[in-house]
Amino acid sequence: MKETVHFMISEKDIKKRIQEIAKKIADYYRSKKGKLVLVGILKGSFIFISDLCRKIDLPHEIDFMIVSSYRNGFQSNENVRIIKDLDQNIRKKNIVIVEDVVDSGNTLKKILRVLQSRKPKSIKICTLFSKPSKREVKISIKWIGYSIQDRFIVGYGIDYSQKYRHLPYIGYVL
């Protein structure tokens, strides 16, 4: 059976919201000491972090992790694997984890535990989409693009079984 993608949020609306988030991040870190590093969680965040970093009007660095908790399906599971780790030492740096979607929180819990052990100055979380009804663990998210219902979303870099990342808007799969 082939899934169907239904339109949800336009590219124009997403870009406007990212501009707002970038301004909030820049305002927050403008007076803080220490290097700012955006840590993109791949693969889903690659378009989001690309647009976000170009709108943050402060010097910053970018690094990436690849973390997997989905197994070609709709459900996240607690078996989180780090496939690619950071390339740099984050000790005494201000870290912003840039995530595409936060649902259960299990993936971020593991990422936070790993990154906190490396003694950064601070760690904050920025996500384009939050699904609060799916949360299984308490996670403090500093910047949220959209709080959404429990739907499996695609587009703007977010996939379903490696499909639909190319869509310039957000849709949901049925």
Tokens for 60, please give them: 């910053």
For 28-85, write each residue's pLDDT tens digit: 999 999 999 999 999 999 999 999 999 999 999 999 999 876 554 445 555 778 899 9
Is 85 considered catalytic here?
Answer: no
What pLDDT sits at residue 138? 94
Q: Where are the domains of the chain?
A: 5-173
CATH code for the part of the protein at 5-173: 3.40.50.2020
What pLDDT sits at residue 129? 98
Weakest mean pLDDT among 74-78, 153-157, 170-174: 74-78
For 109-146, write each residue's pLDDT tens digit: 999 999 999 999 999 999 999 999 999 999 999 999 99
Ramachandran region, residue 164 (left: φ > 0; alpha: ψ -120 to 50; beta: rest): left
Q: Which of 57, 103, 150, 159 is catalytic?
A: 103
Q: Answer whether 0.85 is exceeded by the pTM.
A: yes
